[in-house]
Chains A and B, each alone.
Chain A
Amino acid sequence: MPKSRFLSTSLKSTIAAAALLSSSALVSAEETIKVGILHSLSGTMAISETTLKDVMLMLIEKQNEKGGLLGKKLEPVVVDPASNWPLFAEKARGLIEKDKVSAVFGCWTSVSRKSVLPVFEELNSLLFYPVQYEGEESSKNVFYTGAAPNQQAIPAVDYLMSEEGGSVKRWVLAGTDYVYPRTTNKILEAYLKSKGVASEDIMINYTPFGHSDWQTIVSDIKKFGAAGKKTAVVSTINGDANVPFYKELGNQGVSAEDIPVVAFSVGEEELAGLSTAPLVGHLAAWNYFQSVEAPVNAKFVQDWKAFIKDEKRVTNDPMEAHFIGFNMWVEAVKKAGTTDPDAVGEAIIGVTVPNLSGGYSAMMPNHHITKPVLIGEIQEDGQFETVWQTSGQVVGDAWSDYLPGSKDLISDWRKPLSCGNFNVKTGKCGGQGN
């Protein structure tokens, strides 16, 4: 009978498909320790994230050359979430449930992190997130090795307000319309006002992703800057939109001596995509530059160029964040003697490893790390020259002190508190409370 044959074949194939999906779970993960790499290799974010996948492969290779970890080899598991946010959650679940990875290094955008966060909490695995972000989050399962706003935005503004930075009195906060610029600008606006800057001296502007026609906005900035007071632009413009923005700045003759632009999302990788001659002197705030003079950095840059087999490739801040995060995880696993997420999560707090700027970074109880803050000027060769840096390491602050919703919140994942949003006013875990 055709009917029953059809039925039975489809039933069989369904079971086969189900078995296919779950069968790899049966392969035991004893021989190696698996490390998940969750970075987009296609789609809009591939521009930034592919490099991070490569740097992770390099770090894992180097660790294996040193004999691996706990006597086992490390095995990278690379997947492509294709800049598609629901796919990030799916891939994260696959890495943890199917591939049984011990930790995942990945994500770039805030939304990808938000998308995978519930997965990591549900399945209790560890994520190392290497990019500067807006803060206002602290999860038991996530380690934020990029900068929080107080490790990037606030020191940059402080520098520009100082005499050395040009005593800036008037501010343009320009950003792409998404959560990181919105929050950073909100924090900066509150901060600037607390420093006595009047509302009419702050101009806020948001543009869509990938905005490419900057004529109007750059001429508005020029106009705003012509009002007599020293003006600076604080740019949280995202990745792709920066190239046409800087090209327009250069062509309209906005020089860094008149209106400096300090960017939080422009690193060496982004500069590699444009000719920097008209941009010399514009600024960026990061925790690491390729040009930092330290033996550990020289070796890292050399290793990277050898690994990627291209002398022209550059290093940048999120790569350093992965370098720190990976070494911290390695140290914590050694300390705990196991890759069990709970044990590693407990062991990693307080772990201190060298960072690439010649100092040491430590994992704090709020799952953020300590880092120096560097302000660099764009040079003609596409590198940054450090013009200012904090005297010591700055502790990442998960909850901003300048936002009304979060100023009373702290995060401390040590026992017995073990809370990501502890309210110091009410003495309770769980945000503002009632």
Chain B
Amino acid sequence: MCTVAQLTDIMKLARSLVLVLLCLLAGLTASAASDFPQALSGLAEKSFKKRLGAINAVAVSGHERAQTVLEALAQRRLFVANPGKRLVIKTEAGGYQMAVTGEPAGEIAKPALKRVKTNNRLRKVIRNALGTLTLRSPDPARRLAAAQTIFASRDASALPILEVALAAETDIQVRTVMERARAASTLMGSAGEADKLEAISTIRQMGNQDAIALLSAFGDRAKGAEKAAASQAIAEIERTLALWSGAQNVIYGLSLGSVLLLAAIGLAITFGVMGVINMAHGEMVMLGAYVTFAVQEVLRTSFPGLFDWSLLFAIPLAFLVSGCVGVALERGVIRFLYGRPLETLLATWGVSLILQQAVRTIFGPNNREVGNPSWMSGSFELGQLALTWNRLYIILFALLIFAGLYAAMRWTSFGLQMRSVVQNRQMAGAMGIRTKWIDALTFGLGSGIAGIAGVAISQIDNVSPNLGQSYIIDSFMVVVFGGVGNLWGTLVGAMTLGVANKFLEPYAGAVLAKIFVLVFIILFIQKRPRGLFALKGRGIEA
């Protein structure tokens, strides 16, 4: 670790470096000013190599417009205007300005414009170049991004600029990243052994895959103590990462489990509580997903500002739509079939075919685009755990639904009536409960919950007419495994199956893991024929 004295030394060194660098830059700029237009014209070339060279030339030109031009190129706003092969930038306002000077370029007809094409390789070069150019931007977020870019590029030549930037940096977070970037550049450059060993220890503290990647790349060409230190650091990081990966598997498992829970929880009511084998359950989920699509479509065209709130609109609507279809299904078909559970299977299978085809006829057979709201996109890191926002929200959402449903069953008068009808229909009727209405509403509730599940599932899966089919079997497995008629069983069942699947997957592969889980369920049912949380009763046959 550095002492205070060492730190001040470094600061002094840095300050003198800045001076040297600034002088150098000034000289460079003078000589490069005339090269800039020429470098710029290289961007209009057809050949990939020449454009690559031009980007590098623009980046090192030191010209004040270099950053603007490169940013425009990265954002696909740089065009070649014919005739004359002038390079122009499309501004945010929609007009055009000359790339070289920034002066307005006047009206240009669309056919005369040709966008300067980039590809992944070029974009990476641009990103790295912009990294060095924006390292001293006033905006901390951009400095952070720049430091991250330099860390990723491991560009040894960025070292002097990093030193300058570090000396002036006040933001702690940006500073940490810059130090890591400096360590990366040091390792890739020609610094002395002491500097490199210190860099290794900086990198080791990162403790993630990026650190391993950097250290192993360094270790491949290092020798002696440096190599030993690098491999020791790698081993250490790998040990901690192995621990983290267990936790990561649990998270993945919970996430898969929460999707299963969402898909199954509506079925836990219609099948578990009412005993109706509803093969159209998957289609209720599908309807919820299509409601989300429809809501987003309306918002996109009419109220684009509200797009981020689309799911909030979709949830009650999906509940209503699926719930109403559910009530209609109960009133129209299922109520004639009580006491013949297996025949409800046949009729609801017919219903599921009709619903699928109806959606196919209305919305077309193709997948429909359902976007993630911005607050559900991307990921964040917790220690060494990578968590994606949408998965996290789905876990929370599933638990929330579960809690809400549990509370509704337990503490509302509707829940009380529902339970009484299930336990003893005649007696409940005698007490004045309208059992037929309760049947319809219960079925509607189960279907509505399935619709809400569809809103969540639309965020991670295809929205197509086949959506329901892919969840129906899994849902039945969860309910049967957990124990019919018990909400807790469904929760524990879903989470257990999810986590078991994710722990098996790295060893057995996705397919075998799923087969093992199915075989496990079959065997488990032999052991406990009424599932995990069996309802206790005195009947020989429930």
Q: Determine how close the nearest CB of chain A comes to the CB of B364; give it in whole angstroms.
A: 8
Q: CB < 8 Å: which of A164, A208, A243 contacts B511?
A: A208
Contact (Cβ within 8 A) A240 B466: yes
Contact indicator A228/B213 (Cβ below 8 Å): yes
User: What are 16 A-B pairs at a CB distance below 8 A?
Assistant: A42-B357, A46-B360, A208-B514, A211-B510, A213-B252, A216-B510, A226-B212, A228-B217, A240-B464, A247-B460, A252-B386, A272-B366, A273-B464, A274-B367, A275-B369, A275-B371
Option from B120, B255, B360, B369 in Cβ contact (under 8 Å) with A260: B120
Report if B48 contacts A (CB, 8 A): yes
- In the complex formed, the residue of B with least CB distance to A212 is B461
Report A206-246 residues with CB < 8 Å from chain B CB: 206-208, 210-213, 215-217, 219-220, 222-223, 226-228, 240, 243-244
The 4 closest A-B pairs by CB, nearest first: A273-B367, A228-B217, A251-B388, A226-B213
Question: Please, which residues of chain A bring their CB within 8 A of the CB of B506?
Answer: 216, 220
- For the complex with contacts A247-B390, A257-B124, 16 further pairs of A-B residues with Cβ separation under 8 Å are A42-B356, A43-B466, A46-B465, A164-B48, A165-B121, A215-B388, A217-B510, A219-B248, A243-B462, A244-B460, A247-B460, A252-B388, A273-B462, A273-B463, A281-B120, A281-B123
Q: Which of B210, B220, B369, B386 contacts A226 (CB 8 A)?
A: B210
Query: How many positions in chain B have a CB within 8 Å of any CB in the partner chain?
Result: 59
Contact of B460 among A212, A227, A388 (CB under 8 A): A212
Give Cα A208 to B428, complex, Å.
48
Decide if A331 is an interface residue (CB 8 Å cutoff): no
In the complex, what residue of chain A is closest to B241 when comparing beta carbons? A223
Interface residues of A in 265-292 (CB under 8 A from B): 269-270, 272-275, 278, 281, 283
Is B377 touching A42 in the complex (CB atoms < 8 A)? Answer: no
- Say whether A256 faces chain B, with CB atoms less than 8 Å apart: yes
Residue of A206, A216, A270, A281 touching B505 (CB-CB under 8 A): A216
Our pick among B210, B365, B372, B390 for the contact of A275 (Cβ within 8 Å) is B372
Chain A residues closer than 8 Å to B460, beta-carbon distance: 212, 244, 247-248
Contact mask for chain B residues 247-260; partner A; CB cutoff 8 A; 1 contact, 0 none: 01100100110010
Interface assignment of A417: CB less than 8 Å from any CB of chain B:
no
Determine the distance from Cα of A260 to Cα of B120 in the docked complex, in whole angstroms.
8
A253 contact from B209, B378, B511, Cβ within 8 A: B378
Shortest C-beta distance, A266 to chain B (Å), equals: 11
**CA of A44 to CA of B372 in the docked complex: distance in angstroms?**
25
Partner of A215, one of B123, B368, B391, B514: B391
B464 CB contact (under 8 Å) in A47, A257, A387:
A47
**Contact between B252 and A216 (Cβ–Cβ < 8 Å)?**
yes
The interface residues of chain A lying within 8 Å CB-to-CB of B365 are 41, 46-47, 50
Contacts of A251 in B (CB 8 A): 372, 377-379, 388-391
Interface size class of A (residues with CB under 8 A): 35 or more
If A164-B48, A272-B366 touch, does A252 touch B461 (CB 8 Å cutoff)? no
State which residues 187-224 of B face A: CB under 8 Å.
209-210, 212-214, 216-217, 220
Task: Tell whether A177 is near chain B: CB-to-CB under 8 Å.
Answer: yes
Contact present for B386 and A219 (CB under 8 Å): yes
Asked if B6 is at the interface of the complex by the 8 Å CB criterion, the answer is: no
B502 within 8 A of A: yes
A166 located at the interface, meaning its Cβ lies under 8 Å from any Cβ of chain B in the complex: yes
Q: Closest B residue to A44 by CB, please name it.
A: B466
Q: Is A163 engaged at the interface, CB distance under 8 Å to the other chain?
A: yes
Tell whether, in the assembled complex, residue B470 and residue A212 are in contact, meaning their CB atoms are under 8 Å apart: yes
Nearest to B252 among chain A residues (CB) is: A215
Contacts of B388 in A (CB 8 A): 215, 248, 251-252
Is A385 an interface residue, CB under 8 A from the partner? yes
* A411 close to chain B: CB less than 8 A: no
- Cα–Cα, bound, A251→B379 (Å): 6
Would you call B123 and A213 a contact (CB within 8 A)?
no
* B127 located at the interface, meaning its Cβ lies under 8 Å from any Cβ of chain A in the complex: yes
Q: Which residue, A216, A243, A283, has most C-beta atoms of chain B within 10 A?
A: A216
Nearest chain B CB to A45 CB, angstrom units: 9
A252 B120 Cβ-Cβ under 8 A:
no
> Is B65's CB within 8 Å of the partner chain A?
no
Q: How far is the CB of A414 from chain B (nearest CB, A)?
A: 40
